[in-house]
Chains A and B, each alone.
Chain A
């Protein structure tokens, strides 16, 4: 515990009171209270669409609140833009990295604050040196002089963290920074956050991973539907209690995969290889079965999924759907054969943010819905209504751009889009990443039910409880290869992690 956390109630460093913000008709924040104390890590939890990201952007100066007060050190704080927030000592690590791909890593870290030498010129050497020191502190090795383009997601996240560190911020806000990080990297990040706290900074930590929240934070604030629910000391809370407050109801069994009769093999992958990415990947999925593809981030799981679906090409091997060879590199053909891929990155790959909910939900079905090549009448609307209703998408109207929806509802639109194609094979990449507990259970129940109807499901997941709870079989990937195949009975945390970390890979 950091000094001053228990007992003595220090004055808050940064305080929000009655902050309100709406976008059009949607109220994202409704009278939110938040008090960050110096030397404390404070968790902000809530379901998707609860308003966490909006709150972060408000604190970062990217959104101006409609009403409410912000104070820093007891003095009123007015942020007219991100530059003001920086000047006030507020550093933010966003959920999605915000790097400049053409600039070097060091420039990304020090943009606008580069060390200078004579004539106010940038001192590139000093800048690279400083960046290298930051990385040392994080215990990672990234060349500061390389361009940010081509960095893996995890590395990009580390650069973001280094950037926030370089401020020596008084308030550090981390919006789900751990989503793409490995266990070791998360540990380092937490060590850094703790050392910042010890120096009197306040940390705001947003995450869906309760173990991390309880590990790091001294206080937890819960948001629900844009409104403040509670702020309590972590010591006075349990995970169940927090979950109950987030969803506003009791959550029953999280991972309800029901046994379903196994049918014929629907998806068969043989010897799939792509140089430098994955090699000799073979597996099959039968109707009614959920097969999980487990492994560490960067093991090549998403890449295999993309290649199977035809978004990427592969060098050798073949993919068969119900016994027939699927031509490579053609997602259209894959869809026609009854395959659906719910991608990992819904903003980039899953949705066309500016198009309406309706157009998004029916995009993959546009050919099937047309008559004589024409899309007339209300076929698309009827289809979209059917699926958004089924998945309980919260939207003002179907013609609203999907960008106006919250993250969880966007994920539901992606699911609706692919379920509308009535697939035989569903590949789903991180089905519950960044999704709140309530929706998580809904998604899991849906997957189970789909398997019961005879779908073959290939699920990629980095969350072990999800893998163990949902999968009939677990395939573990390590460095581009499938190293273990574990039936449900044999899969447990130890055996999966053992294989995923490459130990006993030769066995």
Chain B
């Protein structure tokens, strides 16, 4: 099919400036925020390494990375969900419920631990499916739904184990969770996290599904008209989020060798902080995975360094909160100043001509 015969097209700007267009595209893909957050991460690591004793040690790196595994894992599906304009606040409660169920199954079912792990991940997916069903099936706002399931799942995790803890997991399993890669102090658990991050990154940035996620985050009606099945896509995102929570539940239980009802309480706020710090817009439609990974690391490094510098763990929340606020206020402020400068320049040009 060709309609080239239609008209002799005059050169439009799109043709005359292909190079500028490509550069701008590259900048769009990499994003100035991504660059800024990576730079901030590098600066933070260097500063901490130079000024905080014990920061730049292998042992600290191991604990720093181990502590970050749950946060990093949960941030991956959360990024995709926030980009579609939704949010999942129930992640930490799902981790808690998966953890207590793992404990209860180990305590009373007599199944092998391998099978239990698989069951727990499937169960997480089922919990996510409940969220997805309420959000897409009944058309309810995800903020309200997941605040509800946040309370529901946390409540159920207390129902499962009460205030008891299950701790008698086989030592070989709990040791495996904190094991390092041979010859290094990097925990082995980092490898699957990185693999998953790559998978999520490709899905988001280089597949038709990723394009659809951005489109529905900005305007779900237009996305529907373009053939995107918005409810189905969102449903599966919530299921994936739940499955990842199952995974984190297993890891958390083994890492701390304890299945308790209050495991991971409050983690959802840190996850959202990391995602927004990574440059994802809370309105949906904007952000990238590289920034989020950098955001997770930045958050972890800062907290770890300050803890080593003997700052009270609870007071550390000032840092988390301030980082979050700065991360959303700063780009806006910069854009504002830029727009003002641009206008002034234009006015100057007008008066000059």
Contact = CB atoms under 8 A, between A and B. Distances in A.
A351 interface: yes
Contact of B20 (A67, A375, A397): A397
A19 interface: no
A363 B215 contact: yes
Interface stretch (B69-77, B114-122, B138-146, B225-233): B225-233
Nearest to B285: A354
Contacts, number: 141
A349 B221 CA distance: 5
B321 interface: no
Could you say which interface size class chain B belongs to? Answer: 35 or more
A442 B10 CA distance: 14
Nearest to B202: A374
A390 B3 contact: yes
Interface string A376-401: 10000100010011101111111100
B21 A397 contact: yes
B347 A66 contact: yes
Contacts of A362: 211
Interface of B is mostly: helix
B4 A332 contact: no
Interface of A is mostly: mixed
A191 interface: no
Interface string B10-47: 10111101101110110010000000000000000000
B211 A363 contact: yes
Contacts of A395: 12-14
A392 B12 CA distance: 7
A394 B222 contact: no
A359 interface: yes
A66 B346 contact: yes
B282 to A, nearest CB: 14
Interface in A411-454: 417, 419, 422, 442, 445-446, 449-450, 453
A422 B1 contact: yes
A145 interface: no
Given A381-B25, A390-B4, A399-B21, A359 B211 contact: yes
B12 A394 contact: yes
Contacts of A453: 1, 3
Given A352-B218, A390-B4, A397 B13 contact: yes
A331 B3 CA distance: 25
A311 interface: yes
B232 to A, nearest CB: 10
B222 A396 contact: no
A23 to B, nearest CB: 10
B6 A376 contact: no
B207 interface: yes
5 contacts: A66-B346, A309-B225, A336-B227, A374-B206, A389-B14
Given A376-B206, A449-B3, 4 more contacts: A350-B222, A392-B10, A396-B13, A453-B1
Interface of A: 20, 22, 24, 66-67, 309, 311, 330-332, 334-336, 341, 343, 348-359, 362-364, 366-367, 369-370, 373-376, 381, 385, 388-390, 392-399, 417, 419, 422, 442, 445-446, 449-450, 453
